[in-house]
A and B are shown apart, each in its own frame.
Chain A
Amino acid sequence: MFSWDLLIGALVFGLLLGCFYAAVSIGLSVSFGLLDVPHIAHPSFLVMGGYATWWLGGYGWDPILAGLFLAPVFFVLGVVMYRIYYATFERHGSDTGLRGLAFFFGIAFIIEVCLILAFGVDQRLVEAVYIGKSIDFTDDLRIPMRLLVAFAAALLLTIGLTLYLGKTYMGRAIKAVAQDQIALSLMGADPVRVKQWAFGIATAVTAIAGALLIIIGPVDPQLGRIYIGRTFCVVVLAGLGSMSGTLVAGLILGVTETIVLTFFGASWAPAVAFGLLLVMLGVRPQGLFGR
């Protein structure tokens, strides 16, 4: 049954959710899109951020505050990860394909299993003043506060990172290393240090995105698998390394997903992102705003 109210509701939800999808993907957009690191473990870091937020929530922390607090911790984690990756694979150059992929796949799997061992397979929720309330526009259109808060934070995060990469000295260095690493080292900058900083930033942003993840809905250890589809879909759709494209791609995914959800049922949701990703890879692998 088709109704305009349903469609408008789906569109509004989709736009709000889409912004959130952009925020959870923007870390990957830096690490995979700009740095060419096959970071399949990105969604696992996201879920880990969600769990850390939940854990801090147990001590009465507000989720967003917890996310901001976790960002520096994750920054260090990201730097360490990149150091290991660099020392093991990038420095030697050859045959990073299979091993690099297997490395991150293994890391993702370890994170998932450790979360299960530590917290069990049950879903976890956080509490905050804005969770559980909603703003009612009409009888059919009720927008939960949690979605609005996550939307606003996601928008700030995405725009903030885009500005950082475009306007600051370090941000431009990161973009430069993505374009031409040798040229950067000729300018007297150390590409490895720039990349390590960029990977740290990407992971720190992922921590904040993880906090948003648990604001949006309950989190369980296996959620990372679904988010492989969503994050890579957004990054590929955007075109590797395109920051403004990430926002547009997130919105496209959000709207597509909520429309399918509304008219076909929630059980089809996981296939949407992966389907869109496959179509995109088949038709236009360089993405909408690809280089």
Chain B
Amino acid sequence: MSGKMSGKMSGNMNASAGSMGGNNRIFVIGCVGVLLAAIALMAGVKIDYVFNASFVVLQFVVLASAWNILGGYAGYVNFGTSAFFAMGGYSALFMIKAFNAPLLVQILVAACVAGLLGLGVGLISLRLRGIFFSIATVAVAIILETVILNTEYFGGAKGLQMMRPEPMAPFESYDKMLFFVMILMAITAVAISRYIERSWIGRGLRAIKDNEEAAECVGVPTLKLKLIATVVSGALMGAAGAPLVMYMRFIEPVSAFSLNYSVSALAMPIIGGTSSWIGPVIGALLLGSVQQIVTVTISSELNVLIVGVLLVFFVVVAPDGILGLVRKLRAKGGTSGAAGSAKGGAK
């Protein structure tokens, strides 16, 4: 499935790259195409594993796109993706336990809670930059994990087991429903990240990345922009974490706050290319699919290793990610570099 997805998405990329300056119609058509393909897949395929694996890959599309809003556009490196993700999961758990709320409500509440956490982290970024900001995000993750570990209501260190309710009407199985919810979320996240990149927010964030003092001096509202970025990025990560409880049927702090989420959310945009919304999508689809294949065929520890090795490799050898490589190839090929100019136009 994920192979099919990446085919779809890369077709989508070519389309949008070919259109100079941002043809929204092609993007919308691409999104609808992906959605239709997903519906066709749900109608045609019976094996639940396909949907389970795709769910994980799509989850990484959301996390990577969300990370890139703050990390790629504004240059604030978040090492604490797992904190937002897990807070989303635990907010959903709370909504299930306290109100028996449906999935949609769980996701909305998770997004709000993680968005608030994002606001807090955004306020930290008032004083801290570079490595200090990054260390602070690690600190937030570890402190929240410790708090959850010590909270009996959420099952403490042992975790909690949850029963899945019956899937809603049009869906045959809960796995398919979760898959569909996640693909909607992925499309939303990508659309938001694309909108931010191309609007005044993205321009402001890039100004912050290049030189925050200079940006402040010429009247860029840096505080407001940083807060928008941290809140939106956090809320998307939290939303991605919300279905975790129902997906795993179980939640426990160590795996919910796993460092793997933080590393992957950072590695995927860097491997794909941080300058544009499509970079995280490419990185997540590629790396997520490889991880799923390696987990099944070799081992789950090895798939984690691959992420780390690829991250270091790309940072050292190809700092602009796959997008940068593609751009270089096009420039060399002499074909006036449509992707390059589209990107230049966005900048």
Q: Give chain A's interface residues, CB within 8 Å of chain B.
A: 32, 38, 40, 84, 88, 95, 97-99, 101-103, 105-107, 109-110, 112-114, 116-117, 225-226, 228-229, 232, 236, 265, 267-268, 270-271, 274-275, 277-278, 281-282, 285
Q: Are A278's CB and B136's CB within 8 A?
A: yes
Question: Using Cβ atoms and an 8 Å threshold, which residues of chain A touch B124?
Answer: 278, 281-282
Q: Are A110's CB and B267's CB within 8 A?
A: no
In the assembled complex, B139 has its CB within 8 A of some CB on chain A = yes
Q: Are A105's CB and B263's CB within 8 A?
A: yes
Q: Are B311's CB and A106's CB within 8 A?
A: yes
Q: Are A38's CB and B139's CB within 8 A?
A: no
Q: Which of B75, B128, B301 lies in contact with A281, CB distance below 8 A? A: B128
In the assembled complex, B214 has its CB within 8 A of some CB on chain A = no
In the assembled complex, B77 has its CB within 8 A of some CB on chain A = yes
Q: How far in angstroms is the closest Cβ of chain A from B32?
A: 34
Q: Which of B75, B146, B302, B316 lies in contact with A88, CB distance below 8 A? A: B316
A99→B127 CA distance, assembly (Å): 21
User: Considering the complex of A and B, which 9 residue pairs feature the smallest CB-CB distances, nearest first?
Assistant: A271-B146, A274-B139, A106-B312, A106-B311, A109-B308, A110-B308, A38-B131, A113-B305, A271-B143
Q: Are A270's CB and B146's CB within 8 A?
A: yes
In the assembled complex, B149 has its CB within 8 A of some CB on chain A = yes
In the assembled complex, B177 has its CB within 8 A of some CB on chain A = no
Q: Give chain B's interface residues, CB within 8 Å of chain A.
A: 71, 75, 77, 79, 124, 127-128, 130-132, 134-136, 138-140, 142-143, 145-147, 149-150, 157, 259, 263, 266-267, 270, 274, 301-302, 304-305, 307-309, 311-312, 315-316, 319
Q: Which of A106, A228, A236 lies in contact with B267, CB distance below 8 A? A: A106
Question: Using Cβ atoms and an 8 Å threshold, which residues of chain B touch A277?
Answer: 135-136, 139
Q: Are B311's CB and A116's CB within 8 A?
A: no
Question: Using Cβ atoms and an 8 Å threshold, which residues of chain A touch B149?
Answer: 267
Task: Tell whether A84 pairs with B316 under 8 Å between CB atoms, given A110-B308, A268-B150, A271-B146.
Answer: yes
Q: Are B77's CB and A97's CB within 8 A?
A: yes
Chain B: which residue is nearest A235 at the CB level? B135
Question: Using Cβ atoms and an 8 Å threshold, which residues of chain B touch A105?
Answer: 79, 263, 266, 311
Q: Are B132's CB and A285's CB within 8 A?
A: yes
Q: Are A101's CB and B131's CB within 8 A?
A: yes
Q: Are B147's CB and A271's CB within 8 A?
A: yes
A113→B264 CA distance, assembly (Å): 14
Chain A: which residue is nearest B140 at the CB level? A278
Question: Using Cβ atoms and an 8 Å threshold, which residues of chain A touch B301?
Answer: 113, 116-117
Question: Using Cβ atoms and an 8 Å threshold, which residues of chain A touch B132?
Answer: 236, 281, 285
Q: How far in angstroms is the closest Cβ of chain B from A142?
A: 27
Q: Which of B131, B139, B147, B315 lies in contact with A106, CB distance below 8 A? A: B315
A107→B136 CA distance, assembly (Å): 19
Q: How far in angstroms is the closest Cβ of chain B from A279?
A: 10
Task: Tell whether A102 pairs with B315 under 8 Å between CB atoms, given A109-B263, A117-B302, A268-B150.
Answer: yes
* Majority SS at the chain A contact face: helix
Chain B: which residue is nearest A114 at the CB level? B305
Chain A: which residue is nearest B126 at the CB level? A282
Q: How far in angstroms is the closest Cβ of chain A from B132?
A: 6
Q: Are A229's CB and B138's CB within 8 A?
A: yes
Q: Are B311's CB and A102's CB within 8 A?
A: yes
Q: How far in angstroms is the closest Cβ of chain A from B15?
A: 29
Question: Using Cβ atoms and an 8 Å threshold, which residues of chain A touch B127?
Answer: 281-282, 285
Question: Using Cβ atoms and an 8 Å threshold, which residues of chain B touch A38?
Answer: 130-131, 134
Task: Tell whether A232 pairs with B79 under 8 Å between CB atoms, given A114-B305, A267-B150.
Answer: no
Known: A101-B131, A271-B143. 14 other contacts (CB 8 A): A40-B134, A101-B134, A106-B311, A109-B307, A109-B308, A114-B305, A117-B305, A229-B142, A275-B143, A277-B139, A278-B139, A278-B140, A278-B143, A281-B128
Question: Using Cβ atoms and an 8 Å threshold, which residues of chain A touch B128?
Answer: 281, 285
Q: How far in angstroms is the closest Cβ of chain B from A278?
A: 5
Q: Are B130's CB and A97's CB within 8 A?
A: yes
Task: Tell whether A225 pairs with B312 under 8 Å between CB atoms, given A101-B134, A285-B132.
Answer: no
Chain A: which residue is nearest B306 at the CB level? A113
Q: How far in angstroms is the closest Cβ of chain A from B159?
A: 14
Question: Using Cβ atoms and an 8 Å threshold, which residues of chain A touch B77?
Answer: 97-98, 101-102
Q: How far in angstroms is the closest Cβ of chain A from B197?
A: 16
Question: Using Cβ atoms and an 8 Å threshold, which residues of chain A touch B305?
Answer: 110, 113-114, 117
Question: Using Cβ atoms and an 8 Å threshold, which residues of chain B touch A225?
Answer: 142, 259
A102→B95 CA distance, assembly (Å): 35
Task: Tell whether A98 pairs with B75 under 8 Å between CB atoms, given A106-B311, A274-B142.
Answer: yes
Q: How far in angstroms is the closest Cβ of chain A from B146?
A: 4
Question: Using Cβ atoms and an 8 Å threshold, which residues of chain A touch B274?
Answer: 98
Question: Using Cβ atoms and an 8 Å threshold, which residues of chain A touch B143?
Answer: 271, 274-275, 278
The contact sample of 13 A-B pairs, CB cut-off 8 A, is: A98-B77, A101-B77, A103-B312, A106-B263, A106-B311, A106-B315, A113-B301, A226-B142, A228-B135, A267-B149, A267-B157, A274-B142, A278-B136
A116→B303 CA distance, assembly (Å): 13
Question: Using Cβ atoms and an 8 Å threshold, which residues of chain A touch B266?
Answer: 102, 105
Q: Are A110's CB and B130's CB within 8 A?
A: no
Q: Are B308's CB and A113's CB within 8 A?
A: yes
Question: Using Cβ atoms and an 8 Å threshold, which residues of chain A touch B79?
Answer: 40, 105
Chain B: which residue is nearest A32 at the CB level? B131
A275→B263 CA distance, assembly (Å): 22
Chain A: which residue is nearest B260 at the CB level? A109
